Every structure is written in C-alpha cells, then in structure tokens.
Structure 1
Amino acid sequence: MPSGLVALLDDVAGIAKLAAASLDDIGAAAGKAGSKAVGVVIDDAAVTPRYVTGLSPARELPIIAKIALGSIRNKVLILLPAGLAMSAFAPWLLTPLLMLGGTYLCFEGAEKVIEALFGSHHATVEEAAPIDAVALEKEKVSGAVRTDFILSAEIMAIALADVATQPILNQAIVLALVALGITVGVYGVVALIVKVDDIGLNLAERSNAGVRALGRGMVKAMPPVMKTLTIVGTAAMIWVGGGILLHGLEHYGLAAPQHALEHAGEVAAHAWPVAGGFLSWLVMAAGAGVVGLVAGSIVAGVLHLIPRKGH
C-alpha cells in the first residue's frame, strides 16, 4: 500500500510539472513530504472501513465519499491555512506540535497493542436502542471525519516540516498536493477494500468454475487481509510516532538517543553489506518502535489512572 500511495503522489507531481516547469521542485517536495506520512496513511486506511460496518452495502460508497469530502475540508480549508499561518508567524510551534502528534500516534498504537494482549479496558456498553438508518449514517460519517481530522493534522504537520524552509507559496502548493493526493489514495483504497466482498460474492455466482473459485477466495481472504492491515497500521503508528519523538528530542539538544540508533543501524549495515540499507532501516525503525511503544504505554497508563466521568 505505501508504494501505491507514493506512486499516486508522483503522478500528481507529474501533472504539476506539465503545468509549469517551475513546479518541478515543488512536485518532488510533495512526493517526499507525502511519503514521510506513510505510517499515518496506513492507519487511516486501516481505520476507515470500520465506519461502514453494519450499514447497507448500497450506502458504503456514498458514505466513503462523504468521509473523503470531509477529509478534504479538514486538510484544505482548516489545516492548510493554519499550517501556513504557523509557518509564517510561529514556526517554533511546529516541532512541539509534531511531538504532540507523535505522542498521540504512540498512544493510539500502544492502546491497540495493550488491548490485543490483555483485552479491552473499556467498559461493556449496554445495547443501545435502535436508531434509524439516516441517523446512524450521519453518526458514522461525523465520527470518521473527527478521527480523520487528527490523522490529517499529523499528515499535514509532517509534510509542512519537510518544506518549512521553502517560500510560503511553495509550501501552500506542496501541502495542497499532499492533501489531495493522500485523500484520493486513502479513500480510493478504502472503497476497494469495502467492496471486495461484494465483488467476490458476485464472482462466486458466475457459471465459470474458475471465476467462482476466485470469488470465494476473495471473500475468504478479506478477514485476514483486514487483520494484517490493522497490524501493519498499528506498527506504523508506533514506529512513526517514536521517530517523531526522537527527532524532536534531537531538535531540543537531546541527540544521544537518535545518534545511538543511527550508530546501531550503521553497525548492522556493515555486518551484512549485501542488505546493508535494509538492515540499517530495520534497526532504526525497530528502535523508533520501541521508543514509541514505551512512550505510548506510559501515556496510556497515565490516562487509565484518571477516573472517568460516571465511574
């Protein structure tokens, strides 16, 4: 999935290059900035399909379209102007906001790991009274757009950090390209994911035995695919969040953890030169993941100690 989304950004960058040669650097910056947000993107794609669970199959694509439109509004009408204003008038805010967002990613990832290992900490909720389909759809879309706002804020902050030294107009174009490219990529993938079952069921009813087998295979494959996507999304959140925290600490003069991790990556690369680049990345990603898991677990532990309203 990450490579597909980055390829999509490259296509968007290509369109920009055809429009004006002066946008070459901007297109490259959009691809680079967008690729750095892959961890958040994966989680976005993993989370969104659950918002159409339990609704009519005929409403799945319209609901995803509504969520995608809300995501565009989040990024372009709210986060992009806010990011540009911060870049122009309070650039010192970017690093602490990134670290705050990174901490949130670590917390979300750690919560999922804790729940997978020890069960949910949330109290069992009694079955609610039935509500009509229109109200349920509105509630699902609103919840998805709120979740998207948090993830989109982190995506835009990561992208902004990568182009913070460029002129303000270039920043605006890059952020717009990243916002549109990632939104189209994420919700295009989500639309495909939620309709695979329907496609598989349709194929399973065909007369050709091979086509029927393919359809049944698609239906059976979706539960493990969704589970894998969730695991990859959780790991990516923890790894990206931990990396953001390490870079933030380095920015504030606490460079020892980041330098130690880089040194460990170099040692691993020299130990097996054939796969040196991959090993170096793997060691650094694993180290960032450990930092992210520890930080997220601490935040989760503190929050679970705070009494909840009504308890």
Structure 2
Amino acid sequence: MSGLLALLDDVAGIAKVAAASVDDVIGQAAKAGSKAAGAVIDDAAVTPKYVQGFSADRELPIIWRIAKGSMINKLVYLLPIGLLLSNFAPWLITPLLMLGGGYLCFEGAEKVAHALGVGGHGHTDHPAAGEEPEDPAHLEEKKAQGAIKTDFILSAEIMTISLAAIPESNFWMEAATLAAVAIMITVAVYGAVALIVKADDAGLAMAAKGRLGLTRSLGRGIVRAMPYLMKALMVIGTAAMLWVGGNIVVHGMEILGAPWLYDQIHHAAEAASHVVPENMMGAVKWAVTAAFDGVFGLALGLALIPLGEKIVTPLWRAVFVRKAH
C-alpha cells in the first residue's frame, strides 16, 4: 500500500511539473505572439480578398484550405528553420528580424502611399493577375496558392519575431513555444477571417428571415457595418505594421551597436511620461515610443518603396510567377 501511495505521489508530482511546463509554454507563446501584432493583423486584413468573387458555399472551404497551408508553412518549414537559427546561428536572428521589420515598414508605407494616390500598389498583384481563368476550380486553386504564398512571407515574420521574443530556454521549450505560437496565431487569424467573411451573409439572413424587428434591424446593421469594419481593420493593420516594423529596426540597430536613435526615442518617451500623472506614465511612455517608431517606420518604408517596386518585386515575379505559369 505504501508503495502504491508513493507511486501516486510521484505521478502527481510529474503531473504538476507537466502542467507548469504547459503553462510556461502557453504564457511564453502568448507573449511572443503579441510581439508580432502588425503581421498578424495584416494577415487577417489581407486574406478576405482571396475569397472575393466566389459563391458563399465556397468561402469557408477556401479559408480552410489557406489555413491548412498556413499551418504547414509555420510547422513544417519555418519552425525547423527557426530552431536551427536559434541553436546554431543565433547571431543571424537580429539581422533577419530587421529584414522582416523593414518588410513590414515597406508594406505599411506602400499602403499609405497607395491610399494617398502617390504610388505603391498595396497587395495588388501584377497586371497578369487580372487575367483570371474562366474555370472556377482553376481560379480557386490559383487564389488559394497565392494566399498561401503571401501567408508564407507573413508567417516568416511572425515566427522570426516570436523566436526573438522567447526567453533563453532549452531546445524543447523553444520548439513547444514556437509550435504553440504557430497554432494559436493560425487559429486566431483564420477564425477571425472566417467570421469576417461570413458576417455579411449572417447579417443578410437575419435581415431577411429574422422573426423580430430587432433581429432584422441588427442584420441590416451588420451588413452596413462590414465595409467600415474592413476599412478600420486595414487602417489598424497598417499602423501596427509601421509601429512594429519601426520598433524592430530601431531595437535591432541598438543591439548591433548603433543605439543613437533608440536612445533618442527612449529619452523622449521618458520626458513625456513625467509630465502626466503617475498612473498614466506607462501608457504615455508606450504611446510616445510607438508614435516615434511608427514615424520612423513610415520614413523607412517610403525610402524602401523604389527598391521594392523596381528591384525586389520584379525579381520575385520573374522567378515565382513564371515558374507557376
């Protein structure tokens, strides 16, 4: 009997350790994933365009297919690459992170320029992309593959940012945390996309079939609100990209031995936080830092637009578009 009690006590101890490890993984994954806010929001904002033009019954299957492709991108390709970098070439993480931050700044600035009508193409494809095949199955395949390729870039940013945010730990903790980040973010992004895409259908159904006047009014309200929601999501996503991208580059410069800009932003945020009540100091410091990071991100992104549009994008299309055709 004493042996059985000792065994049960050991099992209980192991269960507690396992539960604590799971809590650590989830906690670290949540913190690491939050650092990739800009890319996550942009991912959620971009994906709905890939189901436009399809019948309502094909929207969710397409989103499901893209979500599976996103999970494969993160778990099969990007997670092993991230672990290899972390364990064998950690010095590469900061430069790669800065490269991803620069891409976020470029994407955000391109959207701003496009909105102002002064250049930039946002996420629009090359001219040949308008020549869509007539066969719906072929078109669906093309759209899904395009979305998965776009997701690969955004997922690479998310995983790199998350990897840099994970505290120093062992190989298995890093692997479990990155896997948790991949699963949590994919479920959150594509769950949100599914809700966004089907919200107008739900609103139309409520407006047409609702038994109560309140239900019908709510349905009409949802339908009217969806275009504004999409615009708001794009604005928030663009702002988040510029802020996060700028922050990554500024912080990377500081790590690589060029701390001047980081120090100036830090001092400005500190000074601003001391002119408000103590309970608001943290919020003001964060807001000022984010504002300066965002302004820097916009300036850097605008400077990168000619490089992206004249060199990087044509090379990408020459390699991948021709290969696809």
TM-score by length of 2: 0.85
Partners of 1:284 and 1:37 in 2: how far apart? 17
Question: Which residue number corresponds to residue 322 of structure 2?
Answer: none
Would the alpha carbon gap of residues 45 and 17 (structure 1) be closer, same or farther in structure 2, given more than 3 Å must change? farther
Would the alpha carbon gap of residues 303 and 55 (structure 1) be closer, same or farther in structure 2, given more than 3 Å must change? same
Question: Which residue number corresponds to residue 242 of structure 1?
Answer: 246
Matched, 1:281 2:263: no
User: Does the 8 Å contact 1:87/1:164 carry over to 2?
Assistant: no
Question: Which residue number corresponds to residue 4 of structure 1?
Answer: none
RMSD over equivalenced CA pairs, Å: 2.2
**After the TM superposition, which segments of 4 or more aligned residues of structure 1 sit over 4 Å from their partners?**
16-19, 119-127, 304-310
Q: Which of 266, 285, 304 lines up with 1:299 in the alignment?
A: 304
Question: Which residue number corresponds to residue 101 of structure 1?
Answer: 100
Would the alpha carbon gap of residues 178 and 64 (structure 1) be closer, same or farther in structure 2, given more than 3 Å must change? same
What is the Cα deviation at residue 29 of structure 1? 1.2
Amino acid at match of 1:34: G
Would the alpha carbon gap of residues 141 and 94 (structure 1) be closer, same or farther in structure 2, given more than 3 Å must change? same
Question: Which residue number corresponds to residue 11 of structure 2?
Answer: none
Q: Which structure has the bigger radius of gyration?
A: 2
Unpaired stretches in structure 2, ≥5 consecutive residues: 1-14, 318-325
What is the Cα deviation at residue 86 of structure 1? 1.1
Q: In terms of mean alpha carbon deviation, does 231-240 or 203-212 score higher?
A: 203-212
Q: In terms of mean alpha carbon deviation, does 105-114 or 26-35 score higher?
A: 26-35
- The equivalences for 1:28-107 within 5 A come to 28-107=27-106
User: Does the 8 Å contact 1:76/1:179 carry over to 2?
Assistant: yes
Partners of 2:91 and 2:264 in 1: how far apart? 26
Question: Which residue number corresponds to residue 219 of structure 1?
Answer: 223
Would the alpha carbon gap of residues 120 and 61 (structure 1) be closer, same or farther in structure 2, given more than 3 Å must change? farther
Matched, 1:111 2:116: no
Q: In terms of mean alpha carbon deviation, does 75-84 or 256-265 score higher?
A: 256-265
What is the Cα deviation at residue 157 of structure 1? 0.6
Q: 1:48-97, CA deviations, whole angstroms, 9 ceiling, x for partnerless residues?
A: 11110111110000100000000000000000011101111111110110
Question: Which residue number corresponds to residue 233 of structure 1?
Answer: 237
Matched, 1:141 2:144: yes
- The equivalences for 1:170-185 within 5 A come to 170-185=173-188
What is the Cα deviation at residue 263 of structure 1? 1.3
Amino acid at match of 1:300: I
Partners of 2:129 and 2:233 in 1: how far apart? 29
Question: Which residue number corresponds to residue 128 of structure 1?
Answer: 131
Would the alpha carbon gap of residues 297 and 212 (structure 1) be closer, same or farther in structure 2, given more than 3 Å must change? same
What is the Cα deviation at residue 162 of structure 1? 1.6
User: Does the 8 Å contact 2:105/2:300 carry over to 1?
Assistant: yes
Q: Secondary structure at the match of 2:162?
A: helix
Would the alpha carbon gap of residues 19 and 190 (structure 1) be closer, same or farther in structure 2, given more than 3 Å must change? farther
Partners of 2:62 and 2:129 in 1: how far apart? 26
Would the alpha carbon gap of residues 119 and 294 (structure 1) be closer, same or farther in structure 2, given more than 3 Å must change? closer
Unpaired stretches in structure 1, ≥5 consecutive residues: 1-15
What is the Cα deviation at residue 23 of structure 1? 3.4
